[in-house]
C-alpha cells in the first residue's frame, strides 16, 4: 500500500494530437525534499478527481498504483508514474508551513545540449 504527501506543482490535460480529445489529467507532484514524480488520472476517472485537485496545494495520496512510464518523453527524471484508480484517495492537507518547494529544476550547460538530442526526457539529465 503506497501513501505519499506531496504538493501539486503543475497540473495539465494531455491531448491526443490526432483527435484533439483529452486523454488524461496529468500532474507533477513534489515532496518536501524536492523529489518529483509524474501522476496521471485517466480520462475515464477525470470526473471523479479533477475538481478535487488544485495546483500548489498539498495532499495526502494513497491507494494508487505505480508503473513504468510508457511516454515517449518523460516530464521527470524518474522512470515511474503514479496512476490514479477508482479507489485512490486524495485528501487536501491544510498545512501552509511545510516548506514544500514550489518547483524543482534540472539545468544543463549550453555545451551539453548537443548530447541531449536523443534524450527521451523533456528535462536535462
Domain boundaries, the chain: 3-95+105-116
Q: What is the mean pLDDT of residues 83-111?
A: 76
Cα 73 from Cα 54, distance rounded (Å): 24
Cα 109 from Cα 111, distance rounded (Å): 5
CATH classification number, 3-95+105-116, choose in 3.90.1310.10, 2.40.50.140, 3.60.20.10, 3.20.180.10: 2.40.50.140
Q: Considering the chain, what is the average pLDDT of its residues? A: 82
Residues 63-79: tens digit of each pLDDT: 999 988 876 666 777 78
Residue 38 pLDDT: 92
Nine-digit cell string for 61: 495520496
Residue 123 pLDDT: 47
- Contacts of 116 by beta carbon, 8 Å cutoff, 6+ apart: 108, 124, 125
Residue 104 pLDDT: 65
User: Could you tell me the pLDDT band of residue 34, with boundaries at 50, 70 and 90?
Assistant: confident
Full-model pTM = 0.77
Amino acid at each position: 500500500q503506497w501513501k505519499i504527501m506531496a504538493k501539486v506543482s503543475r497540473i495539465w490535460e494531455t491531448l491526443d494530437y490526432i483527435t484533439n480529445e483529452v486523454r488524461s489529467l496529468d500532474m507533477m507532484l513534489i515532496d518536501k525534499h524536492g523529489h518529483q514524480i509524474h501522476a496521471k488520472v485517466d480520462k475515464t476517472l477525470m470526473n471523479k478527481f479533477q475538481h478535487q485537485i488544485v495546483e500548489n496545494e498539498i495532499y495526502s495520496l494513497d491507494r494508487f498504483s505505480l508503473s513504468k512510464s510508457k511516454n515517449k518523453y518523460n516530464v521527470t527524471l524518474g522512470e515511474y508514474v503514479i496512476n490514479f484508480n477508482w479507489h485512490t484517495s486524495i485528501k487536501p492537507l491544510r498545512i501552509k508551513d511545510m516548506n514544500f518547494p514550489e518547483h524543482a529544476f534540472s539545468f544543463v550547460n549550453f555545451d551539453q545540449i548537443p548530447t541531449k538530442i536523443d534524450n527521451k526526457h523533456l528535462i536535462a539529465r
